[in-house]
């Protein structure tokens, strides 16, 4: 007797949609690509095109075991996402929150060592050699001043010049200068 359809399947610490194909649902896991998801399904003797919700408990457990130890089940090491681990030197495949933690420690190590990559991580620049002359800009427009910003800057300069004049000259001198200007205009 077939088991009933499960809309949510718990696998590798995450709830996956039962309505998706096995290979697509496994690819939703962090650290599992579409190619590795398909390989995991084939190694576990499950058709990658069946719906995940149609699998029984035994099949789900097989998928979980293959995901935890892919090397033991015959998946080649070139499909792993962490080959030659920095600490252990082994080929590992890391999933979920562990992957985020490992990436964070790698970036921290590079920052401590003061490598080029670590410094660029600190500064928030692109790390993998992308061009930065025209792309990757953050904040306001760089290199081109918008009309509104230019008008504000010009108004600020004019206002600043008037304040400096007023501070150095008394009111009586301002009146005399004003009278002189009016006299020149009449002539």
pTM (2 d.p.): 0.64
Share of the chain above pLDDT 90, in %: 43
User: Taking a C-beta distance cutoff of 8 angstroms, is the pair 83, 53 a contact?
Assistant: no
**Are 16 and 52 in contact, with CB atoms under 8 Å apart?**
yes
Between vectors from CA 94 to CA 91 and to CA 100, what angle results, nearest 5°? 130
Calculate the alpha carbon distances from 3 to 32, 44, 127 in Å: 27, 19, 50
Query: Looking at the predicted structure, is the pLDDT value of residue 145 above 80?
Result: no
How big is the chain, counted in residues?
A: 187
Spatial contact of 117 and 123, defined as CB atoms under 8 Å apart? no
105 vs 164, higher pLDDT? 105
Which secondary structure element, helix H or strand E, spans residue 146, and what is its range?
none
pLDDT at 168: 57
pLDDT tens digits, one per residue of 74-84: 898 898 988 89
pLDDT in the model for residue 1: 40
- CATH architecture group of domain 8-79: Orthogonal Bundle (1.10)
| Percent of the chain predicted with pLDDT > 70 | 82
Tell me the sheet residues that pair with 17.
8
Is 128 strand, coil or helix? coil
Per-domain residue ranges for the chain?
A: 8-79, 95-131, 147-186
């Amino acid at each position: 007797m077939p088991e009933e359809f499960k809309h949510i399947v718990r696998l590798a610490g995450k709830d996956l949609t039962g309505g998706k194909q096995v290979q697509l649902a496994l690819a939703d896991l962090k650290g599992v690509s579409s190619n590795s998801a398909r390989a995991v399904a084939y190694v576990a003797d499950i058709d990658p095109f069946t719906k995940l919700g149609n699998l029984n408990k035994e099949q789900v457990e097989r998928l979980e075991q293959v995901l935890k130890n892919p090397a033991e089940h015959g998946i080649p090491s070139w499909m792993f996402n962490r080959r030659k681990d920095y600490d252990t030197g082994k080929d590992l495949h890391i999933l979920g929150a562990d992957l985020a933690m490992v990436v964070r420690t790698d970036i921290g190590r590079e920052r401590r060592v003061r490598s080029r990559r670590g410094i660029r991580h600190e500064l928030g620049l692109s790390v993998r050699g992308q061009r930065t002359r025209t792309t990757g800009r953050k904040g306001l427009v760089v290199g081109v001043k918008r009309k509104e910003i230019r008008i504000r800057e010009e108004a600020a300069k004019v206002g600043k010049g008037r304040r400096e004049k007023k501070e150095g000259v008394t009111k009586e001198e301002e009146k005399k200068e004003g009278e002189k200007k009016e006299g020149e205009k009449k002539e």
